[in-house]
Amino acid sequence: MRPLIRALTAALTAGLLAGVSTPGMAAAPAGSPDTNAAPRQTIGWKPCAQDATAECGTLRLPVDWAHPSGGTFDLAVARRKATDPDRRVGALLVNPGGPGDSGVDFAITRARSHFSEDIQQRFDIVGFDPRGVGGSSPVKCSTELLGRRPSAYPRDQAQFDRLAAYNRALREDCRRHTGPVFDHADTLSVVRDMDALRGALGEEKINYFGHSYGTLIGEQYAEEYGDRIRSMALTANIDHSLGTREFLLSSATTAEDSFHQFVKWCERTGSCALHGRDVTAVWDGLLKRADRGEIHDPERPARPLTANDITLFAFKAFYGPDWADLATYVAGLDAQKPTRKPTRLRASGQSRQAEPQTRAEPFHAVFCQDWRIRPKDHREFAGLTRAELRAAPHMRGSPRVHAAVAGCVGWPDEVNNPQHRLRITEAPKILMLHSRHDPANNFAWAAHVHRQTRGTTVLLPYEGAGHSVYGRSDCTRGAVDDYLTELRLPISGTSCVPAGTD
């Protein structure tokens, strides 16, 4: 078993943790042994305040698994028990991705509409908020400082330096408001938490369903605790072996592919609001008008929309995919008549006072500790940006991934969980599903992970579009259900055809 935590250097710890407050942290019991194992606990389940048909609880765990006798935090957990106890298979732990999505919220409000009746009958569906997220000592940052975030597209070295200085200031601000969990929000720590949760549930082996960033939790759990898995289904998979350039370019390529899927749909679909027009020309013209400040938010006319705002809207629409809504949105923006740029409305003092001082912001606390992605200067970052634009000229790169990389500029080079090729040696067969036209996670990522783990994983492509996979068709849902319930895997080399909405 590889070491779970690559601790920060002593100098870094002394320099960065000095004077940090510790909200949400409790001291471990006196005399606790300084080992890599914590005593097995139980969870005191109670009806969830949000929905009494689900059960909620917490599990007290070490902040730093390398020193479990130190501070602790409470892991928030929610459970929906199997509706047919006589046919119960076991516990199905779930993570919906992000990083930053709440597993507790998923179990309480989304699990019943997401999973089939058979899965709900046969599994206790257990969601947990990964450390730093939701109810598990959430990462919080100053709202005012978050509102001053500089452009993720610095034009020169001076702007790059300002971006790095801002990121360092934000990092310290978030650490101050969050406490020690901030420095241990990486996925390897979450993996250790998940195994402690397995023990607290009294399960010798777990079943796991992970989506998007939740697949990284599953992949690394399989590396560390493969013999404690009964079944594992992963959808929209993460390839944690990618370097900076590969990560950015593959993300841009798949975003551009999704744009072309949208154009093709509009060309063949009479109900598309842009049907019969040159969709690509309309789109490119719209972005150029946004560059000149001519396009404004329909809901807030005083606010001009940037090209990045528009591409980010489209990127999110590709997740569904929600092509009809996107076409209507683009047609509406394109129909705007050129006007003088309106004066930006000033917020009232009352609205400023009502704004919370901090807000949850876990993304970079996780991402920048899981990926050694640190452009060193403007020259390097500008070169990466130009390569993104060449890979995705219409989408102008991948707006979300570019912002993710920009947010790590200026962070320390040392990371808790750096990229590496996946090494799974003890796990049973793992089922992977991935959309051929996923807008966020390139299909090549799943293919690469599968090549790294060919003896352990089975890859089932969904030949359609969108980021979510499980509920796309009877084929995708049936493959996951058959595997989780009966351990019956699809035949290697098969795939699921696109759903009618694609």
- Do residues 15 and 168 touch, judged by C-beta distance below 8 A? no
Query: Among 172, 213, 142, 208, which Cα is nearest to 367's?
Result: 213
pLDDT band at 353 (very low <50, low <70, confident <90, very high): low
What confidence score (pLDDT) does residue 108 get? 98
pLDDT band at 355 (very low <50, low <70, confident <90, very high): confident
**Residue 46 predicted with pLDDT over 70:** yes
In sequence order, the β-bridge partners of residue 234 are 210, 432
- Do residues 325 and 266 touch, judged by C-beta distance below 8 A? no
The residue to which tokens 């090494």 are assigned: 423
- Note the pLDDT tens digit of each residue in 87-127: 999 999 999 999 999 999 999 999 999 999 999 999 999 99
Q: For residues 434 and 322, give the distance between their C-alpha atoms in angstroms, rounded to a whole number.
A: 18
What is the SS3 assignment for 431? strand
* Average pLDDT of the segment spanning 56-66: 97
**Residue 13 predicted with pLDDT over 60:** no
State the virtual CA torsion across 186, 188, 193, 198 in degrees, nearest 10: 150
Prediction pTM value:
0.88
Q: For residues 110 and 50, give the distance between their C-alpha atoms in angstroms, rounded to a whole number.
A: 12
**Residue 428 predicted with pLDDT over 90:** yes
Query: Among 358, 362, 301, which Cα is nearest to 333's?
Result: 301
State percent of the chain over pLDDT 70: 89
Q: DSSP secondary-structure letter at 4?
A: S
**Residue 333 predicted with pLDDT over 70:** yes
Q: Which two tokens stand for residue 276?
A: 């019969």
pLDDT band at 501 (very low <50, low <70, confident <90, very high): confident
Q: DSSP secondary-structure letter at 45?
A: -
Mind spelling out the 3-state secondary structure of 233-277? EEECCCCCCCCHHHHHHHHHHHHHHHHHHHHHHHHHCCCCCCCCC
Q: Which two tokens stand for residue 178?
A: 């969050």
What confidence score (pLDDT) does residue 395 get? 98
- Do residues 36 and 65 touch, judged by C-beta distance below 8 A? yes
**Residue 346 predicted with pLDDT over 70:** no
**Residue 340 predicted with pLDDT over 90:** no
Q: Which two tokens stand for residue 189?
A: 């720590």
Q: DSSP secondary-structure letter at 296?
A: B
* CATH 1.10.730.10 matches 23-137+187-241+421-486: no
What is the SS3 assignment for 328? helix
pLDDT band at 41 (very low <50, low <70, confident <90, very high): confident
What confidence score (pLDDT) does residue 338 get? 64
- Note the pLDDT tens digit of each residue in 162-208: 999 999 999 999 999 999 999 999 999 999 999 999 999 999 999 99
Mind spelling out the 3-state secondary structure of 58-93? EEEEECCCCCCCCEEEEEEEEEECCCCHHHCCEEEE
The CA–CA distances, whole Å, from 468 to 31, 140, 212, 326 equal 47, 28, 8, 17
Q: For residues 111 and 94, give the distance between their C-alpha atoms in angstroms, rounded to a whole number.
A: 9
Name the residue ranges covered by the structural domains of the chain. 23-137+187-241+421-486, 138-178+242-338+351-419
Give the least confident one: 3-17, 308-322, 331-345, 398-412. 3-17
What confidence score (pLDDT) does residue 500 get? 78
**Residue 9 predicted with pLDDT over 70:** no
What confidence score (pLDDT) does residue 196 get? 97
* Average pLDDT of the segment spanning 365-390: 97
B/e letters for 58-92, b = 16+ CB within 10 Å, e = fewer, are bbbbbbbbbbbbbbbbbbbbbbbbbbeeeeebbbb
| Torsion angles phi and psi, residue 501, rounded to 5 | -75, -15
**Mean residue pLDDT across the chain:** 90
pLDDT band at 357 (very low <50, low <70, confident <90, very high): very high
pLDDT band at 349 (very low <50, low <70, confident <90, very high): very low
- Do residues 241 and 452 touch, judged by C-beta distance below 8 A? yes
What confidence score (pLDDT) does residue 318 get? 97
